[in-house]
Amino acid sequence: MAAALTIGLVGYGKMGKTIEAEAEKQGITVAKIITSKENRDGEAIRSLKRDDIDILLDFTTPAAVVSNIRAAAETKLDIVVGTTGWYEELETVRPIVEQHNIGLFYASNFSIGMNIIFRLVRDAVRLVNGFPEYDVFVHELHHTQKKDSPSGSAFTLANIILNESARKKRIETGRLSERIEPDTLHVSSTRAGSIIGTHLVGFDSDVDSIEIKHSAKNRMGFVQGALRAAQWLKGRTGVYTMDDLLRV
């Protein structure tokens, strides 16, 4: 049985509210809820005490993440970050985490299913390297309220492909007005309705098409994964991702 856990939520949108409800079902105490409006430059986080909270869970905005991590570090609070779109700041954040000896867990997607997809795509690209007739692409779909495009998970997929592909060297996410170069990976997006999240990696040739697809039915996969990450992070210091949690 997992040890008792007390968390604080930073950001109280759809994800924050769903995490709160699921945490209660799992016997996890939600000791503090901080809305984005009351947390200017991490002020509300700095008012917290480590003795009262084990882990913070951040689902806010990319612009707020670095200041939130800095405030958590100064308060000696470990933090799980589910916000995407801030990863260019990782090298700024890493020394802050190490200096203050806290734990940081971040992921573009906490769904166990989506992280299985990441591994499947890695293996598929390695196989396709031996068959140049296949071209690869990424497409993602989300609801109309999602603020970033492409999604963090789409960028994770794209970077996996670039790291493993013998042919793809750069990512294109914008509108194309001319033919695409063979070394360019096209990552496209659709925003419509209430789509929770769908990610598709396709391999296309003259004779057939292969698709690896993940469709979230609801937010529960993300929520359960984030709470699992919080349980896993307790007692650890350093910077971690889902690869560390799922390492086999």
- Give catalytic residues, as residue numbers: 142, 146
Give the separation between CA 228 and CA 216, rounded to whole angstroms.
18
Residue spans of alpha helices (H) in the chain: 14-25, 43-46, 62-74, 90-100, 112-128, 152-164, 220-233, 242-245
Residue with tokens 């993602």: 140
Helix 112-128 to helix 152-164 angle, to the nearest 10 degrees?
30
Tokens of 23: 């945490």
Decide: 174 and 185 in contact? Cβ < 8 Å: no
Which helix H or strand E contains 209, and what residues bound it?
strand 209-215
